[in-house]
Structure 1
């Protein structure tokens, strides 16, 4: 039997804060318990399970983050898990103007159990990429599949590859010269975990095992590097596949997004 409580404890201990090389162009700075990640497409806020303040003190902590990114003219997201403390954190974020996105299932898998030789349908090939042109093709695929502008993904991936190419592996599955599926894995040094990200497939290529093949390949590489656990914040489309592959639900995560107010031009008499 899998000890889900132990997996959650490992996640809380090891996966709350980023480890390893900071992506090129990004800075990390702390405000009390909260880590601000500045310089990416949007700002990001990460925190321990319990931020340690409540009530008015919590409101002030939230307001400082909001106002910091308002001054930059940049949006920011605060990632909250279902078991985070204090329990009032979500409502306090909403009161400060943050908007909750749909929740994701936080799933953990054991690398050795998921790792396998990738099995691809005929005419599909798999390769690791890092060149800017390939990263742009991935961003184009993500934009097409998800229906929102994700052109920034190319620069985001490039910044991670530039900071430490050994900390990320980016994979594409191609057919007829076109990227039909892409995914990447980030290795978190000093932890047991890798994070599996990306994972999108063109609609006409779904149901052929390509996503599973990229999952198996990433798990195999993680295990070869000595990482024991695989972490995914899974969409409703991916979560059932991951569960069938042996992943376990440990909690849910929700991104609370804040968008900066428009700047108002001053007037002169």
Structure 2
């Protein structure tokens, strides 16, 4: 894989772990709680997920249990689905075990990177298009169905994404024979794009739609001179697919959820 201006493994690892922490666009009710060693989002209007997470936590070992319990209680009190990412740079060393003991569900995650290129466009029955104001509702319904979420708040959020000043998010809708079948997104940074939100509806899986969504986003990045794509993928689902698509796994870490 070409390294471009990310010459060392440490530089690539920072791009995989640290840069994606700034992918969020806050809603009016989003609380961004940030201090040294801590980045957390709370968004009461998105009860089923999104903008509710602990993205980074480097805690003092003696204070960790109290901070964990307080944080979990915040989300429980508001009735929010959330996630807690425990990357290799999080602390204390047994943070994952402490969260697991409190009943959170552990999902093994791969931090991955690859160079961008101009891949072949999908052929035949598959098309992938960038979403605009005319297709955002169709995209949002498809996304909500794939993730089993209420489409109304997702639609409102996606409309905001498309009109946000200094927009760096792009949304992609995949169709199979003209029917909406899958969705994904990306966030653009100086040296990389971060891929997120890829989902294919069950009725259309196994037809190459996931690959088409990946290659469309790689092509988007390559066309703008952005040399790398990064992703956090589930080790049990998308991770093996992305490895076959040329992504290199730089690290492995758990993400915890309360569902």
What TM-score, normalized by structure 2, do the two folds share? 0.78
Q: What is the aligned partner in structure 2 of residue 108 from structure 1?
A: 113
CA distance in 2, matches of 1:169, 1:155: 15
Unaligned 5+ runs, structure 1: 260-269
State the Cα distance separating 1:229 from its structure 2 match.
1.9
Q: What is the aligned partner in structure 1 of residue 128 from structure 2?
A: 126
Q: What is the aligned partner in structure 2 of residue 60 from structure 1?
A: 66
Pairs within 5 Å for 1:79-228 = 79-81=85-87, 84-95=90-101, 97-112=102-117, 115-122=118-125, 124-131=126-133, 134-145=135-146, 148-149=148-149, 151=151, 152-164=153-165, 166-188=167-189, 191-228=190-227
Q: What is the aligned partner in structure 2 of residue 244 from structure 1?
A: 244
- Work out the number of aligned pairs and report it: 246
Secondary structure of 1:227's partner? coil
Q: What is the aligned partner in structure 1 of residue 5 from structure 2?
A: none
Q: What is the aligned partner in structure 1 of residue 56 from structure 2?
A: 47
Higher relative contact order (CA 8 A, sep 6+): 1
State the Cα distance separating 1:234 from its structure 2 match.
1.9
Summarize the Cα distance change of 1:27–1:111 in structure 2 as closer, same or farther, 3 Å threshold: farther
CA RMSD, Structure 1 to Structure 2 (Å): 3.0
**Larger of the two Rg values belongs to structure:** 1
State the Cα distance separating 1:227 from its structure 2 match.
2.5
> 5, 15, 19: which one pairs with 1:14?
19
Q: Contact conserved, 2:143 with 2:182, CA < 8 A, in 1? A: no
CA distance in 2, matches of 1:217, 1:77: 28
Secondary structure of 2:119's partner? coil
Q: Contact conserved, 1:145 with 1:201, CA < 8 A, in 2? A: yes
Q: Contact conserved, 1:128 with 1:170, CA < 8 A, in 2? A: yes
CA distance in 2, matches of 1:206, 1:170: 20
Summarize the Cα distance change of 1:183–1:5 in structure 2 as closer, same or farther, 3 Å threshold: same
Summarize the Cα distance change of 1:110–1:258 in structure 2 as closer, same or farther, 3 Å threshold: same
Offset from partner CA, 1:159-204 (integer Å, 9 cap, x none):
322324731111112245420222211113xx42211122223445
Q: Contact conserved, 1:98 with 1:257, CA < 8 A, in 2? A: no
Unaligned 5+ runs, structure 2: 3-7
Summarize the Cα distance change of 1:140–1:166 in structure 2 as closer, same or farther, 3 Å threshold: same
CA distance in 1, matches of 2:17, 2:172: 28
What TM-score, normalized by structure 1, do the two folds share? 0.76
CA distance in 1, matches of 2:252, 2:179: 34
